[in-house]
Amino acid sequence: MTIKRLQKSARMSQSVIHGGIIYLAGQVGTEGAPFKEQSQQALDSIDKLLAASGSDKSHLLQATIWLADMADFPAFN
């Protein structure tokens, strides 16, 4: 099986495709930006990476979301 790396840097790739599965690196918003803006930036980044990999969010198997403050959970959800 081949491994395809997208948006590579010396340290990591933003997405990797292996065995028909797309793995994304952690996507974050701009530090210091309001919570909703950071969330939207991260979700937009995910959309772009999935599109570049030939997929979209309708094919997600799993997502892990880390919130700095659980008080933000209702707004994010």
Question: Does residue 10 carry a pLDDT above 90?
Answer: no
pLDDT for position 68: 86
Q: What is the pLDDT of residues 14-68, one digit of tens each?
A: 999 999 999 999 999 999 999 899 999 999 999 999 999 999 999 999 999 888 8
Question: Which phi and psi angles does 74 have, rounded to 5°?
Answer: -60, -40
The beta strands (E) that lie in the chain are given as 3-8, 13-18, 21-24
